[in-house]
Structure 1
Amino acid sequence: MNELDPIVISGFALEAPGNVTSASEFWTALRDRRDLMEPFPRDRGWGLELLDPVPVELDLERVPDAGGFLADATRFDPDFFGISVDEAAAMDPQHWAALRVAWQALENAGVDPGRLVGENVGCYIGISFTGHAPRSARIDRLVGYRAAGMALGGASGRISQCLGIVGPSLSIDTACVSSLNALQTAVGAVRSGECEWALAGAVCVMNSPMAYYSFSRLRALSEDGHCKSYSSEATGTVLGEAAGVLVVEHESRARQMGRRVYARILGIGSTHNGKSRLISAPSAQAQARLMRKTLQVAGVSADQVGLIEGHGTAKCADDRAELLALNEVYGLANGGRHRTAVGSVKSNIGHSQAAGGVMGMIKVLLCGVHGQIAPGLCTENPSYDIDWETTSLALAQGLESWPVCDDGMRYAAVSSFSVTGSNAHVLLGLPEQR
């Protein structure tokens, strides 16, 4: 984009599986190659019929008792946010997590969340339906609260209402691309002056095992409960939950306010695969086109990019298409002379669906803070889909130094694509942290 005053990320916060609720805890888990998968939650009233024995008549494959789950998914302090107990009880648990993390992202940026009333701040939250609806038909004391409590738009709207901010407030559902589309929308709004600055992110909390039914029927679940992104041993994905929110503003404003600049958003874009046999089928061609376009817009050459945080669901067709696109655009750009590390946070926390992209973004931000590339899990036997001997791409198998380029910047890319046929790609410039 070559802007004189680029849009930057000046704060962030997250909740991740494994009872991870801070950036330092998340970095430790990434650095130490921790697998944050755990058994299904037993405190949510889920029926666990999908676990052995699987009903034969449903044509489902076995579901491993494993996933990435938020420890605080069923806990919320409504008084803290000025919400009544009944109103909170009618809210989708995803709204709870989004509120908590948005508040923490502001604090991370040095903003007092209680002093924003009337400010022109935007709020853009990626979120998808995860099974909260069955309670909607009950006639009880919660009637009247469910309209806002169940709406996906309630995630962004509740944050704006509790903070008192008056900029645009949008919830965005493009499945697994939701968080990067939320960020793209926020960047456009800040750049155009529609809002002065913004919150952007996503949340995923599963309120039922619905997604497991779908992925089981599609034969898309991991057989052993491990998400082996880009591995020749991958057998499918593992579902997960997460929440992440970024603070987005012009760099001049961030500097003026004394905030830390974690990254410049140099280019961000999205496309759709278009006509295809299946809406869920990934397209290597569409992804490659978007990657090239985003590089061009960012004014960055492929051989400057030292880290690519990919989608990496560990589903064979998904990983194959993505690796072919990445190799075409980044891997073969300089004849394999420049090494570009590739990984996916899904190997640690599972596929957090709408929140997958923002969790990858936060992983990259933390790598920039520490000047190190965090390793992935299950990287010992890379996928056979590309020739790793002739490409500059390499799976990060251990913690390694991430050197800066000649201009003092580190460059990274983040990719997502979705079951609805959408693709998203982001180019970041991360200033050296002092």
Structure 2
Amino acid sequence: MSRKNMKHSSSSCVDPLDDNDKVAIVGIGCRYGDGVAGPREMWRMLKEMRDCTTSHPAERFDKSSFFFPGNKKKSKLYTERGGYLKQDPFMFDRQFFRMSPSEAEHMDPQIRILLEVVWESIEDAGIPASTLRGSNTGVYMGVTANEYLALTGLPFSNIGQYTNSGTNSCMISNRISYEFDFRGPSFSIDTACSSSLYAVQVACDALRGGVCDTAIAGGVNIILTPSVTIGFCQAGMLSPDGQCKSFDESADGYSRSEGVGSVLLKPLKRAIADNDRIYAVIRGGALTNDGRTPGIANPSFDAQIDLVHKACSAAKVDPREVVYIEAHGTGTRVGDKTEANAIGEAMSKQRSDDTPPLYIGSVKSNVGHAEGAAGIAGVIKTALLLYHREIPGVVHFQRGNPSINFEDLKMTVPSTSIPWPAD
């Protein structure tokens, strides 16, 4: 990403990247824990370095039936915290979307909330939604959870004419295209934690290839049952205190969280011509896979280095010139170690001594790990960071993970907010 200054865009340097390949973020909609709603609230939360995790909402499920602190007891939870939306996921302004009570009732809350947040991202861009009706607008949404059918599908007598159209994962994106009358491609993408990042990359590629003229990209994750959390507790992946302590020596797992994020994307040339407010510019990206590792949940050091090199090559950026990277940073000891060391090896180890260090952060320290909506939270944070020219501190960071050689890798985790380097 890079920041586009509309009033001072001239430069003595020749940008090797063709302007046709640059994509502008012109609208943002989001909802995360602690009542964060919209880019202004998101930025305030980042500036204040808030931890947005809370105890499991009592109305979701009876915590006393599942919570067993201290160890991995079968079919139980050892953590009672997560990042939960303040909004009741079942509340929905169905009349605004001209929807019958029965259709709304059978619709996955993830679709309901995403419809509202997509509208907010269009509104944030200053574009009347009516002007996009019938347009070649693509929709690309990341989603990993599909709990609503399991919650409501039994007994079978609960199943109605709108059950399939309201709970199928393809409808996460297709319903948006339907309600807003978008005529471009419509994809629901599930690549686990990277789902919403994949969505952004696929959307950008579609814009660059002329497949669509405008794109909506993002992701959603709502926790309705304890089942997935129990599974992660059994695998020992979650932090007992429900905090993501990204890159810290006390990191002991991550915190599951809810979230919804949506960005409105346009080709940069068109955004400038339309006089849009531009949060940031996406220059390029890459998609890879770790391949075979010691375990399916284990990351690959070499594969992550390869990914960084491919992304920087696509963006025509020298890795040593990057000032900040928003990492996955879940707060697991092995994951943080592998990722940070790979990033440092690829991006900052070869920096000269008079070059500023590479700053590294993770929004998961604020909002937890929102899974299908995790990557888009990082995209939104980075866009706001560039727009406001300030790097927020990482919550819970006190002493670095000893398995990460920050000094030799010329890499720093900011513990307080710092201004964006002047150069």
If the length of structure 2 is used for normalisation, what is the TM-score? 0.91
Quick one: distance in 2 between partners of 1:11 and 1:94?
A: 20
**Aligned partner of 1:41: which letter?**
P
Tell me the C-alpha RMSD between the 2 structures: 1.8
**Equivalent residue number for residue 181 of structure 1:** 198
1:66 matched to 2:81? The reply is yes
Counterpart residue number, 1:31: 47
Structure 2 residue runs without a partner (length 5+): 1-15
Give the alignment partner of residue 124 of structure 1, picking from 140, 150, 153: 140
- Partner of residue 221 from structure 1, selected from 234, 238, 252: 238
State the alpha-carbon separation in 2 of the partners of residues 132 and 48 from structure 1. 22
- Whether contact under 8 Å (1:12, 1:105) holds in the other structure is yes
Does 1:156 pair with 2:153? no
From 260, 264, 281, the counterpart of 1:264: 281
Contact conserved, 2:249 with 2:400, CA < 8 A, in 1? yes
CA contact (8 A) 1:93 1:207 kept: no
Q: Is the 8 A contact 2:83 2:367 kept in 1?
A: yes
1:310 paired residue number: 327
2:286 partner SS: strand
| Aligned counterparts, 1:86-165, within 5 A | 86-134=102-150, 135-140=152-157, 143-165=160-182
> What is the match of residue 372 of structure 2?
354
Q: Secondary structure at the match of 1:384?
A: coil
How many residues are aligned here? 404
Could you tell me which residue of structure 2 aligns to residue 10 of structure 1? 26
1:312, CA displacement in angstroms?
0.7
User: Against the structure 1 CA distance between its residues 230 and 257, is the aligned structure 2 distance closer, same or farther, given a 3 Å change threshold?
Assistant: same
1:370 to 370, 375, 388: 388
Alignment-mate amino acid for residue 400 of structure 2 = P
What code does the residue aligned with 1:68 have?
A: G
How far did residue 227 of structure 1 move? 1.1
Quick check: 175-184 or 123-132, which moved more? Answer: 123-132
Instruction: Go from structure 1 to structure 2 and tell me whether the alpha carbon gap of 1:404 and 1:297 turns closer, same or farther (over 3 Å shift).
Output: farther
User: For 1:121 and 1:310, how far apart are their aligned partners in 2?
Assistant: 29
- Find the residue that maps to 1:80 and give its secondary structure: coil
| Structure 2 counterpart of 1:254 | 271
Cα distance in 1 for partners of 2:155, 2:138 equals: 34
2:8 is aligned to none
- 3-state SS in 1 of match to 2:96: helix
Per-residue deviation, residues 121-178 of structure 1 (Å, max 9, x unmatched) = 1001001124222222434475111111111111111111110111111110011010
> Which letter maps to 1:113?
A
Give the conservation status (yes or no) of the 8 Å contact 1:46–1:209: no
Residue segments in structure 1 that go unaligned for 5+ positions in a row: 406-434
> Which amino acid is the alignment partner of residue 119 of structure 1?
S
Deviation per CA, 1:284-318: give whole Å up to 9, x if none: 11011110111122111122211111001111111
* Separation in 2, partners of 1:345, 1:181: 18
CA contact (8 A) 1:288 1:325 kept: yes
The answer on whether the counterparts of 2:23 and 2:266 sit within 8 Å (CA) in structure 1 is: yes
Secondary structure of the structure 2 residue equivalent to 1:238: coil
Q: Which residue of 2 aligns with 1:387?
A: 405
